[in-house]
Every structure is written in structure tokens, then in C-alpha cells.
Chains A and B, each alone.
Chain A
Amino acid sequence: MKPNRFHLAVYAGLMAAALSTPAIAQNRGGTLVQITQPEPPNLASYISTAGPIAQVTSKIFDGLLEYDFSLAPKPSVAESWTVSEDGKTITFKLRQDVKFHDGQPLTSADVQFTVMEVLKKVHPRGIATYKDVVSVDTPDAHTVVFNLANPAPYLMMALSSAESPILPKHIYGEGDIKTHPNANQPIGSGPFKFTDWRKGELVRLDRNDDYWQEGKPYLDRIVVRFIADSSTRTAALEKGEAHVAGQGAVPYNDVKKLAALDSITVTTRGYEMISPMVELMMNTQKPPFDNQKVRQAINYAIDRQFVIDNVWFGFGKAAKGPISSNFESNGLFAAGKDYSVPDRIDIANKLLDEAGFPKGPDGFRFEITHDITPYGEEWQRFGEAVQQDLAKIGVKATLRYEDLPTWLKRVYTDYDFDLTSNFLFNLADPVIGVHRGIHSDRIKPGTVFVNGSRWSSPETDALMNEAAVATDVFKRRDLYKQLVEKVSEASPIAYVLELNYPTVISSEFEDVVVSPLGIYGNFASAYKK
């Protein structure tokens, strides 16, 4: 059965009941050492969506909601919610007993301030996510009403503490939010309180004794360590000096080595709300990639399974289109054109012949430059694998590796590239994560991680516009099915694989990864055995 709105409401009720039952006795105490890579630049998750920041601040702040592995919302600070029939009003009932770390109660005024004054104005993704929120009403201290210009079903997916942390108005309301003195001394209502940040070394979070979830958190302390060298990160985990690391912090081949130890468990769960995709993006405004047949030929040429096995050591799954298969659980997934057919090399060669690029005397049809994503070694190996695949269809690719700022400027400001590997997260909803890569209104020079291939069509734009406001899950599914087919066919981007990040966890600890947010969860239920 595919979930719809009614289904979600029932589910939310069940989860609320489950939360109120007393937990089985867990051990209290212990320090969990988490490795986060790289070190966050600051701890202001309300003005930056940088991953490392949220890995720390999700323990300090609460969100209105949490989510389960099927991507359905669960109560958190909001204990219940109702969406009006036209989808334009969302009413949240807040818990009565939530307090910020300075002892002040969390009320509807804090939520109103957070959404209207902070997230909607300065949060990089919030500006788009909360675009349709016209106002937030506070009929009483524990009721919050979102008034929307259009229905925005994806909004319900963006209310976790990692994405939309609730800030205390009496603290962050004073002074300029962009240079706020509490940017690096966050105060929230979450299970752990910020204690100390020794730059370049660690962030220390201590247990919040007044946390609203009875008995939680179980741990006394979380220490987030920053270790620049990947071999040292592996060594620290192996020796038990650190207990949890995820999101690519440990090299994929080392993960296999660590998984063999009794003291360590490895899971690939906990990235369902991020859904990282490995892609090849083509510059569709420039020959030869202005030709759809050439783009399809590239798509056919990639040996996806080889890349998964040899570059990402098995931690991946062949992608079937712009939307991750993680969205199967809420019905939004659709498969695109299958480019992994057995005779793909022949088809690719034929397409290139048809496109008017015959093989020259040296066996090559044309030459391109492949700009590699500057995110680490595996991307270089990915570039080499693609280079070999392209050689099979007579395309000579030269690899170019630059540092991150240079690459971002080349791809998203100057559009001075032919083919580039890319890394884009699907995030919690296609509206947030998928539209940005293919919608015409996201062709914006100077803005990073948007539509850099500059391909778009009025037809697909209309489908996405409709899917963004459709309140019915079945209708959305139908719209995305059409969208995926069209994008796959046009092939401005070769969707290569869905990356299954491994999280390495010490066997001394239990219940560390308990939600689709994984290492971005609040660790309130984690305990030491």
C-alpha cells in the first residue's frame, strides 16, 4: 500500500502512542566520540546548510518533526498537526514541556520567529522551502499556524532539526542574525547542550538534564572530533578512540577492513533523507553535448556496475533516473530509461554515427575535457573509469582536477566545461533536491549546485510546477513518472549511481542510527552497552 495523507495521519497517531510508552531500561552514561569530516566552519545551522554543521547542531536543536525510515513525519516538538483540505493551512500543536537550554520555555513565538525571520530570510534552502509561507500565526503559546500562498506538501519533509532548527527568539532575536554572537555557541532545546568548541580539535556537547523526552538522552556526553587525515580517522576508529563516523568520513576500502572487526558494526541506513546521487553532467549549450544523441551515447557508455564495485567498493546502487529509489517508500520514485542494457556499447556507437561524429583515423570521434568533482580520491578513480568507458565509444576524454572554489566557478558561474562529474543530494523531497538540477528557473549563473547543464523544457518545468503544489500523493507520483521519462530521454545528466554511504559504529553503542537522518539524528536514544 502506498501512503497517502490519511495514512500519514494514522501513522503519526500510532507513533505518538509509541513515544509515550516507557522505554526499556537502557544504561545511562558514557561518552560517544563522533568523527565529523571536515570540521564545520561555524555552528550556525540556520544560515548554512553545510553537512558537517548539521552533524553537530542536530543534537543541540530540536525540529518540529522527526521522520521514520519510510520518510513519514513523526511528532517531535510538535506533538500533532493537521493540514487543511486545500493544503494552504498547516496547524501544529506544540508540546507544553519543552525548554531551551537556558531554562526558557519553547513557545509558538519561537517557531514564528524561526520561520519568518530566520529560515525564510537567511537559510540557503529555507528561502526556497518556505517561499510559499505567507505568515505564521500564534493563536496561543502552543499552537502554530502556517498560512501558505500555495499548497506545499514538501514543506512537511523539511522540519527536522538538521534542516529547520527551532531557535529561541529571546536569544537569536537580538542583533544581526547573520553575525550573531551565538553562531558558535548555539542554544537550543535538544538532548545535548553545547559546552565547548576547541577549533581544529573538537566540539563538546553535554547531556541536557531537562530534555523533554523522559529519561533521554542516555549518554552523558558527545564529543565531535575533527581529524583531517583519512588514515588517522580509520586508526582512531580501529583503536576505539572514536565511536561513530559516517558520510564518507572513512575511505570506502577501509570500511570493509573495519567491518571485519568484532568491535565495529557498519550500516548503510540513515541516508534515506539525503539520498546522494553520483552524476555526470553535460554542458548542453555547447557542442557536442547540445546533441541529444551524443548525450544518450555517453549515458549508455558508462558501466555502472563496474564503478560501483571498483570505485565505491560496493557501496552503491545503479541509478535509474533523477529520483532516488529511496522515494519508493512514499511513492514518489519512478524509473527512467534503462541505459544499462547488454548491447549498450553498440547502441552508443550507432547513436554517435547518427549524430554525425564518425570515427577518425586514430579511432576517436571527438575530444572532450572531463572536470572531476574535487571531493576526494574516489572521484579521480571515477573519472578514470569514465575515461575508459568513453574510449570504448571513440570519445577521448582528458581529466582535469581543480580545487573546489575553482571547480564551482568553472561549472556554475562560467559554464566553461564539457562534461563534469557531480554530486547532488535528492534531500527529503524531489521539490527540494531534484527540481534544482533540471528546472529552468534554477539556471542561475553564480549559484552553485543548481541546473548547471542548462537543459530545460517548458514541458518538464510545467510538470515540476504542478508536482510542487499537488497535495495528492498519487497525482504527484504520476507527474514525477512523466518527468523522469522526459528527463531520462533528453539525458542532460547521466544519473550513474545512488551512493549508499556507510556509517561505522562502535559495537559498544546501540541505537545510534535510528532514523533516515542517520548521523544527522539527535542521538537521544543512543546508549552505551
Chain B
Amino acid sequence: MKGSTLGGYILRRLWQTVPVILGVVVVNFLLLQLAPGDLATVLAGEAGGASPEFIEAMRERFGQDQPVYIQLLYYMGNLLTLDLGYSFRQSAPVLDLLLERLGPTLLLMGATLVLSLSLGILMGLLSALWVRTWKDHVISIAAIIFYATPLFWVGLMLVLVFSIKLDWFPTSGMEDVVAFYEGWDRVVDIAHHLVLPTITLSLFYLALYARLMRASMLEQRGLDYVTTARAKGLTNSQITRRHVFRNALLPVVTMAGIQTGALLGGSVVVEAVFAWPGLGQLAYQSLFARDYNLLLGIFFLSACLVVLVNLLVDIIYVMLDPRIRIG
């Protein structure tokens, strides 16, 4: 593509995603209308009862006495000015609630991505190099076990072994609530708390990337350019490093991009088990409370996250393989 620069490409891509994200919001909004019961009933239920006048007054305050299309138009109008609305249940603006949770979520997701990608790629690489030896079998079997074990069970077992029996790590939470450390002590404390949830959430993805990397390595090694490289007199390790590895990474990077959305979903369970204060738990609670403003806000934010990650993946693509042009 002539005339394309990376900056222009990014801008164009971002612009194209605006209707996608708005579509996601509209569809979510309409789907949520199908769930029985509403926020006013839930609030009254949580409160252990309320008078009918009180419930009616709440509905009016939430705008639930309006027809659905009016509510939708109103919501979309606000969204265009980045006003995500107000969570009546939590007595706080949705944007504040989301930003508060975004940090812990990004921390957990980031740590998980780094751990699962690096270890997964390494395991896949070694497995491919040692193909059909006992080392390859050990890695492959481990990957299958990780892949098939439910997250919540892994989490609980890690807590049982490493917190309760061995006393190496805390059972839950993001930091020590008795000490309330500050500065570097706090960073270390949070890192300490991050270990078990990260391992739990990583295992599944690690297994996936390892298997993908192994298959991809083996496939690339059989291609013509490898024969050419060998004919040029390059050593095996040179071929692996310069040619095969880069090409084999492409499907793994694609998968990692696609998996980011799923990572948010998987984190619901891990956040619950480790009491990690992230977006997953917030989504779970707000669904059961029919707190639609908040839930729509989470959908909006995760749609944005997924779009951004996919953009990042495309940029990494170009860097890995210059033959892939932006355009």
C-alpha cells in the first residue's frame, strides 16, 4: 500500500472500530432487556424488603418507567460523550467504578500474558526441538493436563498446598490488609499476592500456546525455505533462530490476541477464588444484581480492550514478518 504510514494506519483502524463498539453496546443493551427482574426489585430484595412506593420511586429514578427505545437512545447519547451513567446500586458513577477495577485487572492479565506466552513459547520450542524424545512427551503430557484441568480447582489446590500447608503465599487478596505496606514494600507485597492467581490463570493458556508453538515449529521446519537455508550452509540453530522461530510465532500471536477476550472471562473465576478486585468479579456481581448501567460499561470497556489488543497484534505481525504490509 503506498502512502500508508503506521500512524495513519492506527488512526484508520481505530476509526473503523467505533461502529463495531457501538453495535456491541446496542446488542448488549437489547439482550439485557430479556432477563427477568430489574434493579429496583433486586435492591429491595437485598434490603430485605421495601414498600411499593419505595420501589416505584426507585424505578422512576433509574429511568425504568420509560420505554426501552427511549432508554437506549438516552444511553447512546450519553455514551458519545463518554458518560457511562450512574450505578444506583453502588451509589457511584460507572466510569469511576470501572477505572478503580481496571488496574488490578490489567495487572493480572498482563502478568498472565507474559507468563503464559513466554513459558508456553519456550515449552513449545523445546518440545519441537526434542521432538519424539521422552522430553517432548513429558512436556506434551504436562500441557494436556494443564489444558484439561478446571481453573477453580487449580486455584483451590494451589491455595491448599502453597498457602495453608507450606505457608509460602497468602490465600487471597491483593495486599496485606493488616500491614498496609507503602512504597517498595507495597510493590513486593502485591507481587507476592500476584503469584498464585497468575499461575492459576496462566496454566490453561500456557498449555495452549505450547501446543500451538510445537505444531507451528514442526510445520515450518518442513517448508522449502528451510531446505534452502540448509543448502546455503546455515547451521540448525541459525535456521531455528533466524527463520523458523519468527515464522512459527505468528499463529501464537494471533491466538494470544483472540484469547485476550477470553482471558477476561476466565478471570471471573480466578478473581473469585483469590478475591482479586478486578473487572471480572464486578461483571459477575452486576449481572446478578441487574445493574445494567454498570454491566454495559464493563462490556464497553472490554470491547475497547479487545480492539486495542487486536490492533497491537497486527502491529507485532508487521514487526515479525515485514512481508505483511499495513493497509
Residues on A lying within 8 angstroms of B by beta carbon are: 31, 33, 38-39, 41-42, 44, 48-51, 122, 124-125, 127-128, 178-179, 183-184, 198-202, 204, 223, 225-229, 231-232, 235-236, 238-239, 241, 403-406, 408-410, 412-413, 425, 436, 444-450
Nearest B residue to A425, CB-CB: B48
Query: Taking A42-B91, A200-B282, A235-B172 as contacts, is the C-beta distance between A447 and B156 under 8 angstroms?
Result: no
Instruction: Please indicate the chain A residues that have their CB under 8 angstroms from the CB of B274 in the complex.
Output: 229, 232
Is A231's CB under 8 angstroms from B38's CB? no
Using Cβ atoms and an 8 Å threshold, which residues of chain A touch B100?
A: 198-200
Task: Count B-side interface residues using an 8 Å CB cutoff.
Answer: 59
Q: A232-B159, A232-B171, A405-B35 are in contact. List 15 more A-B contacts (CB 8 A).
A: A50-B48, A124-B48, A127-B51, A201-B275, A229-B273, A229-B274, A241-B170, A241-B173, A403-B288, A404-B42, A405-B36, A405-B45, A448-B44, A448-B45, A449-B45
Chain B residues with CB under 8 Å of chain A are 35-38, 41-55, 61, 86, 89-92, 97, 100-101, 104, 152, 156, 159-160, 163-164, 167, 170-174, 177-178, 180, 271-278, 281-282, 284-285, 288-290
With CB as the reference atom, state the residue of chain B lying closest to A127.
B51
Complex Cα distance, B290 from A178, in Å, reads 19
Q: Could you say which residues of chain B place their CB within 8 Å of the CB of A179?
A: 86, 91
B20 to chain A: closest CB distance in Å? 29
Given contacts A41-B46, A200-B281, A235-B172, A405 and B159 within 8 Å (CB-CB): no
Q: Are A239 and B278 in contact (CB under 8 A)?
A: no
Q: Distance (Å) between the CB of B158 and the closest chain A CB?
A: 11
Interface contact B91-A183, CB-CB below 8 Å: yes
A198 to B104, CA, bound (A): 11
Give the one of B49, B86, B164 with max A CB within 10 A: B49
In the bound complex, do residue B44 and residue A124 qualify as a contact, i.e. CB atoms below 8 Å apart?
yes
- Once the chains are docked, how many angstroms separate the CA of A223 from the CA of B48? 25
Chain B neighbourhood of A48, CB < 8 A: 43, 46-47
Give complex CA distance A50, B285 in Å.
15
* Min CB gap A184→B, angstroms: 6
CA distance A445 to B52 in the complex (A): 8
Interchain Cβ contacts within 8 Å, total number: 178
**Residue on A with the closest CB to B41?**
A408
Least CB separation from A223: chain B residue? B177
Are B52 and A444 in touch, CB under 8 angstroms? Answer: yes
* Residues in B whose Cβ lies below 8 Å from that of A436: 49
**Which residue of the partner chain A has the closest CB to B288?**
A403
Bound Cα distance A496, B160 (Å): 36
Q: How far apart are the CA atoms of A375 and B156 in the complex, in Å?
A: 22
CB-nearest residue of chain A relative to B105?
A: A200
Top 3 nearest A-B pairs by Cβ distance?
Answer: A405-B37, A200-B277, A124-B50
The smallest C-beta distance from A462 to any residue of chain B, in angstroms, reads 22
**Which of A201, A227, A241, A405 is the one whose CB lies under 8 Å from B42?**
A405
Identify which of A179, A223, A403 gathers the most chain B CB atoms within 10 Å of its CB. Answer: A403
28 pairs across A/B with beta carbons < 8 Å? A39-B285, A49-B49, A178-B61, A184-B91, A198-B100, A199-B101, A200-B278, A200-B282, A201-B173, A201-B277, A202-B177, A223-B178, A227-B173, A228-B272, A232-B273, A235-B171, A239-B163, A239-B164, A241-B173, A404-B42, A405-B41, A408-B37, A408-B45, A446-B52, A446-B55, A447-B55, A449-B45, A450-B49
Bound-complex Cα distance A413 to B42 (A): 12
Q: Are B290 and A405 in contact (CB-based, < 8 A)?
A: yes
Collect the chain A residues with CB atoms within 8 Å of residue B89's CB.
41-42
Please name all residues of chain B whose beta carbon is closer than 8 Å to the beta carbon of A232 when the two chains form the complex: 156, 159, 171-172, 272-275
- Closest chain B residue, CB of each to CB of A405: B37
Contact among B46, B178, B277, B288 for A31, CB-based, below 8 A: B178
Query: Known: A404-B45, A405-B42, A447-B50. Contact between A236 and B178, CB under 8 A?
Result: no
A436-B49 Cα distance, complex, nearest whole Å: 9
Q: How far is the CB of A217 from chain B (nearest CB, A)?
A: 17
Q: Which residues of A contact B289 (CB under 8 A)?
A: 41, 405
Whether B178 pairs with A50 at a CB distance below 8 angstroms is no
Q: Known: A184-B91, A241-B170. Contact between A124 and B47, CB under 8 A?
A: yes
A48 to B104, CA, bound (A): 29
Q: A201-B174, A201-B275, A409-B37 are in contact. Are A125 and B290 (CB under 8 A)?
A: no
Which of B54, B275, B277, B284 has the largest count of A CB atoms less than 10 A from its CB? B275
Question: A239 near B45 (CB under 8 angstroms)?
Answer: no
Query: In the complex, what's the smallest C-beta–C-beta distance from A495 to chain B, in angstroms?
Result: 18
Pairwise interchain contact B164-A235, C-beta atoms closer than 8 A: yes
Given the known inter-chain contacts A49-B47, A404-B45, please indicate yes or no for A235 contacting B160, CB distance below 8 A: yes
Query: CB-CB < 8 A to B171: which residues of A?
Result: 232, 235-236, 239, 241
Contact across chains for B172 and A241 when beta carbons are under 8 A apart: yes
A404: chain B residues at CB < 8 Å are: 37, 42, 45, 288
Question: Does the CB pair B48–A449 fall under 8 Å?
Answer: yes
Provide the bound-state CA to CA distance between A50 and B43, in Å: 8
Q: What's the minimum C-beta distance from A183 to chain B, rounded to whole angstroms?
A: 4
Q: Which residues of B contact A198 (CB under 8 A)?
A: 100, 277
Q: Which B-chain residue is minimally distant from A125 (CB atoms)? A: B49
Q: Which residue of A lies closest to B36 (CB)?
A: A406
Q: Which residue of chain A has the shortest Cβ distance to B277 in the bound complex?
A: A200
Cross-chain contact B275 with A199 (CB below 8 angstroms): no
Q: How far is the CA of A44 from the CA of B41 in the complex (A)?
A: 18
Residues of B within 8 A of A448 (CB): 41, 44-45, 49-50
Chain B, residue nearest A178 (CB): B61
Q: Which residues of A contact B160 (CB under 8 A)?
A: 235
Report the Cα distance A223→B43, complex, angstroms.
Answer: 25
Count chain A CB atoms within 10 A of each CB in B48, B284, B285 and give the residue with the most: B48
Distance of B29 from chain A, by nearest CB (Å): 17
* B residues less than 8 Å from A184 (CB atoms): 90-92
The minimal Cβ–Cβ distance linking B43 to chain A, given in whole angstroms, is 7
How long is the Cα–Cα vector from A236 to B173 in the complex, in angstroms?
10
Pairwise interchain contact A124-B37, C-beta atoms closer than 8 A: no
Q: How far is the CB of A253 from the nearest CB of chain B, in Å?
A: 15
- A-chain residues with CB within 8 Å of residue B174 when the two chains form the complex: 201
Bound complex: CA of A228 vs CA of B45, how far in Å? 19
Q: How distant is the Cα of A232 from the Cα of B281 in the complex, in angstroms?
A: 15
Cβ–Cβ < 8 Å partners of B43 in chain A: 41, 48
> Is B37's CB under 8 angstroms from A406's CB?
yes
**Chain B residue nearest to A184 in the complex (CB):** B91
Q: B176 — nearest CB in chain A belongs to which residue?
A: A241
Residue of A nearest to B58 (CB): A178
CA distance A239 to B166 in the complex (A): 11
Across the interface, B272 reaches (CB within 8 A) one of A41, A44, A223, A229, namely: A229
B159 to chain A: which residues have CB within 8 Å? Answer: 231-232, 235
Chain B residues with CB under 8 A of A241: 170-173
Q: Which A residues lie within 8 Å of B91 (CB)? A: 41-42, 44, 179, 183-184
The CA-CA distance from A408 to B55 in the complex, in Å, is 13
